[in-house]
Amino acid sequence: MVCNVHERVIPGSPEEVWTVLIGIEKLWPADIGSFRLPDGVHPGAPVHHGPWRYVVGAVEPGRRLWFDTGKVLSEGHGFVLIPVEGGTLVRHELKGRLSGTFRLLWPLVVRRLHDKVVEHILEALEREVTRNHAR
């Protein structure tokens, strides 16, 4: 079982954070793999994440964006937005049982890369929300 969590308080309302978060493709680090939502953000929409293909699982504007990774990771991963004093707590969670080669790749390679990508996304999200909030 894997449970990987990253959190950051971003100075902005959940709605302001959500507006930027749904453009996650623009927040992705250009030098590390790829993440594409070719049909947009809605339940069942395809996700192209490097060599993996899965779907958008849940979309709750201003609250939750979750990805259903199927058997590779039993519970999936995604973002939860929680209003807190001073802004919005943005939590990225990746959790579930690993299967196949992903079970071997996670501890050897993927975890470090995943952590780097998520921290980059949170930094970019904070930068964009702060920039938009100041306008």
Go through the domains of the chain in sequence order and give each one's CATH number.
2-134 (3.30.530.20)
Q: Residue 30's CB: how many other CB atoms inside 10 A?
A: 7
128 or 50: which carries more pLDDT confidence?
A: 128
Segment 1-42, tens digit of pLDDT: 899 999 999 999 999 999 999 999 999 998 988 899 999 999
Segment 59-81, tens digit of pLDDT: 999 999 999 998 889 999 999 99
Report CA torsion sign: 89, 92, 96, 97.
negative
Q: To the nearest whole percent, how much of the chain has pLDDT over 90?
A: 80
Q: Which residues pair with 67 in a beta bridge?
A: 56, 77
Segment 98-115, tens digit of pLDDT: 998 888 889 998 999 999
